[in-house]
Chain A
Amino acid sequence: DAGVTQSPTHLIKTRGQQVTLRCSPISGHKSVSWYQQVLGQGPQFIFQYYEKEERGRGNFPDRFSARQFPNYSSELNVNALLLGDSALYLCASSFGAGHSNQPQHFGDGTRLSIL
Chain B
Amino acid sequence: LAKTTQPISMDSYEGQEVNITCSHNNIATNDYITWYQQFPSQGPRFIIQGYKTKVTNEVASLFIPADRKSSTLSLPRVSLSDTAVYYCLVAVRQTGANNLFFGTGTRLTVIP
Specify whether A and B are partners: no
Chain A residues proximal to chain B, CB less than 8 Å: none
Chain B residues proximal to chain A, CB less than 8 Å: none
